[in-house]
Amino acid sequence: MAKKSLNIADLFSLFKKLKKSDDRLSCLENSRQSRVKEKTAYVLSAIPLTEKEKESLKNHLSSSTKSYLMIENKIDKSVLGGLRIELGSKIIDTTLKAQLEEIKKSLKNDEKN
């Protein structure tokens, strides 16, 4: 059985087919993104979140926002512990740093009274 060899014209033809397929995939992805509500939640933590933690947070936030979420984890050791989640204009701050700031404000207000 003789092997079929590709000539340059066959290669160009193959590349054109691959390019068309790639273009179709890009078009489908753009269409999907416009139909699906996609948002990014920015999560600040003292240490990197594990994949399991990211997935759990993503599922919890997705169910409450009715949107497909991407989780972007940013590291900031100054938060000491807990999480600060930014999702659109909403911020959920459960960091130890924020809690200590609240205690500090409370103590200053008590001193004034």
What would the pLDDT profile of 45-96 be if each residue is shown by its tens digit? Answer: 999 999 999 999 999 988 888 778 889 999 999 988 999 999 988 999 999 9
> How many helices and strands, by DSSP H and E, does the chain display?
3, 4
Q: Does residue 6 belong to any structural domain of this protein? A: no
Q: Does residue 25 belong to any structural domain of this protein? A: no
What is the pLDDT at residue 58? 92
Q: Does residue 23 belong to any structural domain of this protein? A: no
CA–CA separation, 11 vs 16, rounded Å?
Answer: 9
Taking 3-state DSSP, the helix, strand and coil percentages for the chain, each rounded to the nearest 5, stand at: 55, 20, 20
Q: Does residue 32 belong to any structural domain of this protein? A: no
DSSP, res 105: H
Q: Average the pLDDT over 33-46 and give the result.
A: 80
Residue 32 predicted with pLDDT over 70: no
pTM of this prediction? 0.61
How many structural domains are present in the chain?
Answer: 1
Domain holding 64, by residue range, is 37-112
Q: Average the pLDDT over 27-36 and give the result.
A: 60
Q: Does residue 30 belong to any structural domain of this protein? A: no
